[in-house]
Amino acid sequence: MSDPIQIFKPWFEAAEHEALRAPLETGWVGYGEKARTFEKRFAQYIGVKHAIALHSCTAALHLAMVASGVEGRQVLTTPMTFVASNHAILMAGGHPVFCDIEEDTLNIDPADVERRITPETRVLLAVHYGGHACDMDALLDIAARHDLLLIEDAAQACGGSHRGHKLGSLGHIGCFSFESKKNLSTGDGGMLVTDDDAVAERVRRLRWMGISSDTWSRFNNGHHGPAWDYQVEELGYKYCMNDIAAAVGLVQLDKLDRSNAMRRRLVGRYHRAFAEVEGVEPLALKDYGESACYCMVIRIDERDALGDHLLARNIQSAVHFRPNHLYPVYAPYRPARLPITESVWERILTLPLYPQMSEAEQDRVIDGVRSFVEERRVRFAASQSAAGG
């Protein structure tokens, strides 16, 4: 059997291995100089004033919700996302209000967003599915007219843009994931970005137990008084990124644009290959955005059968995602029906995509999809012939 083709694969090279040397040799492996440098450079890359390094995007989303005051209030959100997006709302005491999605992008539908706004709505959460921008023109307009805070969940969209502006920089707060499979990977990690000075100051406290000054600053930045002396101003969390992850992140950031360009080339190749394959529908790439191309998703009937067909050829696939409102934990917030979400999710399948994927590997995936479609066509023709006979 041919070698397995993974659905995702991080791109680590010699530079990432070498980057680990400094924090390991200095012995400072917690939040420190590397993380501070990573924050500064990431803020410059995204085009914002503040970037705050955290141990996950879940932490970023949670702190974004806390800092936005969602407790007891409603957050307009999408069901088509990893559960961390909506868990963060519940963790902060908010009430998720699920909106339907666009069938061609799987992003939140601005028209349905507007229909679901109430006096209790506080935040609009825009999740950039698969790395492709939501319709930010419409969402920003809705947020402005209804006095809502707009938070961007850019977990899958690092390096993507909307009309030339980096995703994560358009809303009040942006949240990023550096988890093992993401475009910029530190193994695990996340970042919260904002232009709001007050939000940044509070989030920096909250990520380190509510303590007024982080350990690195107290020991290395001319802290007034003994290094052990600090105040605890409010209840916080242990959400800091460490310097081991940040050292890898700095290398990954240097090659992010190159890595995303490789992803886009592969996605373009998938689109061209499937253009003439009946019944295979890649997600749309709208001209208002440049996608980070985190994943390659198609819509196809008999989705599960295709997954089995590919697995028999040692090719991984997956479904991203089961709509969150269908999980038992969200039963109290389940809307009567989300017709597009509930129909399209049963037809979506994620195919392998990673920067270092070879054309030969991609051709195996393409041939696997084509052979499934052809076998299905032959079976259908045979059944029609038998019925006619």
Give the start-end residues of each E strand in the chain: 50-54, 74-77, 95-98, 121-127, 149-153, 161-162, 165-166, 173-177, 190-194, 281-282, 289-290, 296-299, 348-351
Residue 198 CB: number of other CB atoms within 10 A? 9
Could you identify the residue written with the tokens 């932490």? 59
Give the C-alpha distances (Å, rounded to integers) separating 167 from 146, 157, 173, 352, 356.
Answer: 22, 7, 11, 24, 24
Asked if 63 and 193 count as a contact pair (C-beta separation under 8 A), the reply is no
Which residue in 9, 181, 182, 286 is the catalytic one? 182
Whether 182 sits among the annotated catalytic residues: the reply is yes
Residue 222 tokens read as: 């001319």
By the 10 Å C-beta count (0-12 exposed, 13-18 middle, 19+ buried), 213 is classed as middle
Helix, strand, coil proportions of the chain in percent (round to 5)? 45, 15, 40
Q: Cα–chain-centroid distance for residue 378?
A: 39
Asked if 280 and 274 count as a contact pair (C-beta separation under 8 A), the reply is yes
Asked if 78 and 107 count as a contact pair (C-beta separation under 8 A), the reply is yes
Asked if 39 and 251 count as a contact pair (C-beta separation under 8 A), the reply is no
For residue 349, the number of C-alpha atoms closer than 13 Å in the C-beta half-sphere is 24
| Strand-pair category, 121-127 with 149-153 | parallel
Burial 166-194 (b: 16+ CB within 10 A, else e): bbbbbbbbbbbbbbeebbbbbebbbbbbb
Radius of gyration from C-alpha coordinates of the chain: 22
Which residues are known to be catalytic?
A: 182
